[in-house]
Structure 1
Amino acid sequence: MQTLILCVDRDNDLGEKAHIRGPLIGREANIEAAVKLGTADPEDSDTNTIFGGIRVLDDLLAKGIDAEIVTLAGDKNIGIISDQKIANQLDLILKKFNIESVIFISDGAEDETLLPIVQSRIKIDSVKRIVVMQSANLESTYYIIKHAFNDPKISQTFFVPLGLASLIYAFFLLIDYPQGAIIGILAAVGLYMLYRGFGDSISIFWEHMKDSFYSGRMTFVTYAIAGIVFLLATIIGLINVWGFYTSDGIWYYGIVPLATVFINSTVWLYTVAILLANLGKIIDCRKSGRSVFRYIIPAFFAISMGLLFWGASTYLISINPVIGSDSLDPVAGVQYFVYSIVAAIIVALMGIKISTNIKIEEKQGLVRSNDADN
């Protein structure tokens, strides 16, 4: 095959609306899919993209050029997950057909973000963007805004923060505590923004947890325990900070001392949570016969970081006259800090040494296995 006409449905409207799985290979399969998608949602631009690709295909065939059309479908979780699915489908197509070049059919900037993925695998001869011509009424500002708000991707981004803020403000007015509304709104919007920022990572983690649950892996149990320990550590730290805050206020103690109290009271529980999560990976790797050396160093480094944060926070508490205690003087604080640095270095070196030995043993075992096979 000389030329591939490549259409991309990055958010998998074909699967979500028309219940069609990608990739779609060939003119007839693409026409059938475009008709089903257009019937399910006449306003979806992917329908026009597919028909635009079919027109390009017909033009090339009329000129005697050996060409074929393929439509790849991603995932509704736009980002890493959808792009990985499209990349995997593209790899399968390139293995199946002997393709020299690609003509990329796009309906906008979102699909064109996939150009580097395609270019890394095959040469792109042309990019054709399909623009749908609208009537004057449809081009009005009112319709554009209304249509945008009906788009789930835009409405979720715009309306969810406003809805959360309104509900929180109404709740605090109901309990006659309007001052708390600002704190609640900032916290809710902040959490929502973090979720949007780490949406891909959260989606990948959630898929990994589901896969661990259904396949009976130990990581599901250890991750769940680690999450509970992490939550308990946060609650304990906040309770300790709240005790200082309610006694004299943040302006009396200062933000840095209160943050130091939080770190000092939670650092070991956070370390335990990290170790538990890492333990599940080690157990699963051992069960499946895979290498575990890459998970050894993080465990020792987590302990090293715990020692450093605990020693530093203990020292800061010892020299602070406001939050310090009689049983912890500055001299003892310095000693704890020095001891924690030395212990952290020793633990880190132990982790590197153990991990190196495991890696060498695994390589030697692999060599012996290859020799035995030969």
Structure 2
Amino acid sequence: MQTLVICIDRDNDLGDKANVQGPLIGKEANIEAAVKLALADPEDSDTNTIFGGVKILDELLAKGVDAEIFTLAGDRNIGIISDQKIANQLDMLLKKFPAESVIFVSDGAEDETLLPIVQSRVKIDSVRRIVVMQSANLESTYYIIKHAFNDPKISQTFFVPLGLTALIYAFFLLINYSQGAIIGILAAVGLYMLYRGFSDTVAFYWEKLKDSFHSGRMTFFTYSTAFFLIVVATLAGLMEVWEVYTAEGLWYYGVVPLFTAFIHRTIWIYILAILFADAGKIIDCKQRAEPLGKYLIPVFFVLSVGFLFWGATSYIMSMNPVLGSDIADPRAGLEQFVYSIIFAIILALAGIKASNRPQATAKKSKR
């Protein structure tokens, strides 16, 4: 085949609104899906993208070019998950329909972020952006704002922080603690911004967790346990810092000792959470008779880092006994720090040796 016309529906409006699963292969399947999407949501721009791709296909066929049209659909979780689905669909189609080049059809810049993914697999001859011409009334400011607020992507990003701010402020006014409103608002907005910033990563691991649950894998239990251990460790560390802070105040201890107290209180619980998550992978690999090396090796390095942090924080706290350290003598704290470094080095070397063992075995088998 000479040319493929590829239309992109990155957020899977076809599946969510028209109940049509991608990829769509051929002119008839694409027209039928576009009509269903237009009936479900006449304002969706993906409908025009597909019809635009069909028009390009007809032009190529009229010129005698051997061409076909495909529509690739992603996922409502735009980012890693949707892009992986589109990449997998593209790989599958290129195996069945090897082509010399493609024409990339989209409805805007969001879909065009997938250009590098397509270009890494096949040559792109042209990029067509389908822009819908609207009347002057529809282009008014009121309509644009109203339409934007009806879009879940925009409304969630805009209204959620405002709603959180209003609710938190109202709550603290109700309990006559207006000073706490600033702390609560900053904390809530900060957590929301972190979630939005890591939304792709969160969605990726959430999909993996759901997959492990439906597949009956041990990683579902160990990942859940690791998550709760992280929550418990964070709360325990914050309680420790709050106890020290309320005793004398930040002006007395400074930021570094308080941060040291947090790390010293939580480090082994965080390490245990990581080991729990890794243990689930090891058990699943053993059940599937897969190599365990890539999951056993991190155990050594995680424990090594744990001893380093524990020894360092113990030494710092021994120099400031008012923080509540069990070691009151700085010399004893220094000795413990040195021993922890030595033990961490031994664990790291053991991990390096374990990582080199499969390579040595593979070399022997080649000989």
TM bucket by the smaller chain? over 0.9
Q: What percent identity do the matched residue pairs reach?
A: 70
| Residues 1-374 of structure 1: pairs in structure 2 closer than 5 A | 1-320=1-320, 322-323=322-323, 327-357=327-357, 360-361=360-361, 363=362, 367=365
Distance 1:229 1:92 in 2: 41
Q: Report the aligned-residue RMSD.
A: 1.8
Aligned-partner SS, 2:323: coil
Letter in 2 for 1:65: V
Letter in 1 for 2:95: K
Distance 1:325 1:99 in 2: 69
Q: How far did 1:201 drift?
A: 1.1
TM-score between both structures, scaled by the size of structure 2: 0.96
Q: How far did 1:358 drift?
A: 5.1
Q: How far did 1:252 drift?
A: 2.1
Query: Which stretch has the larger CA shift, 146-155 or 316-325?
Result: 316-325
Q: Is the 8 A contact 2:318 2:329 kept in 1?
A: yes
Q: How far did 1:356 drift?
A: 2.9
Show CA shifts across 1:82-117 (max 9, x none): 111111111111111131111111111011111111
Q: Is the 8 A contact 1:293 1:359 kept in 2?
A: no
Aligned-partner SS, 1:195: helix
Distance 1:326 1:13, change over 3 A: closer
Letter in 2 for 1:224: S
Letter in 2 for 1:33: A
Distance 2:202 2:135 in 1: 41
Letter in 2 for 1:263: I
Distance 1:54 1:90 in 2: 18
Distance 2:327 2:65 in 1: 86
Distance 2:301 2:327 in 1: 30
Aligned-partner SS, 1:173: helix
Distance 1:358 1:3 in 2: 45
Distance 1:21 1:64, change over 3 A: same
Q: How many residues align?
A: 367
Letter in 1 for 2:62: A
Q: Is the 8 A contact 2:233 2:266 kept in 1?
A: yes
TM-score between both structures, scaled by the size of structure 1: 0.94
Gaps of 5+ in 2: none
Aligned-partner SS, 1:124: strand
Letter in 2 for 1:192: Y
Show CA shifts across 1:19-60 (max 9, x none): 000111111111111111011001000001111111111111
